[in-house]
Amino acid sequence: MPGSDELVALYDQAGSVVGTTTRARVREDALWHAAGVVLVRSGDGSAVYVHLRTAVKDVFPSTWDCWAGGVVAAGETPAECARRELAEELGVHGVDPVPLFTKVYDDGRNRCHNFAFEVRWDGPIHHQAEEIVEGRWLPLEELRAWVEDPAPELPFIPDGREGVQEWFRRYG
């Protein structure tokens, strides 16, 4: 698995950093960790950028997502992670992600504190080929219908679904 020896921040169930470990160990032992995730909205706020994850992702491959993000590295804050992932995955630079909330996701195999952020962006999007197959802007109403559908035609990432449902409860 690419990046399996990468050092990441190890969290406890309460959401505090308790050490570091490898990304592989987090996956193998279902350890608590954190991610910085960013909802990219159009400048007028009416649409969200959604993208299809590659088939080689280590969790939830070949699923659609509306959050650019990734695992918090050792020594990194969730905000730093969010900025880094936004630049790496979508090529978005020069914006400061606004903190929204933390959404805990635990399906027994993946235990993560998703630190959610938001940006407004009308500039170009440049996909990181190793992580993203394709993407597009989607009106908020269509995104809401997609994530509320119990059996959508296109697979949506489970933790991202829960995160955007929380976003809609709070802001939409």
Q: Other CB atoms closer than 10 Å to residue 45's CB: what's the count?
A: 12
The per-residue DSSP string of 79-106 comes to HHHHHHHHHHHH---S--PEEEEEEEEE
Question: Encoding tokens for residue 126?
Answer: 């440049």
| Residue 85 in marked binding region | yes
Specify the 3-state DSSP secondary structure of 165: helix
Q: Are 105 and 111 in contact (CB under 8 A)?
A: yes
| Residue 142 in marked binding region | no
Q: Are 54 and 62 in contact (CB under 8 A)?
A: yes
Beta partners for 17?
11
Binding positions for Mg(2+): 85, 89
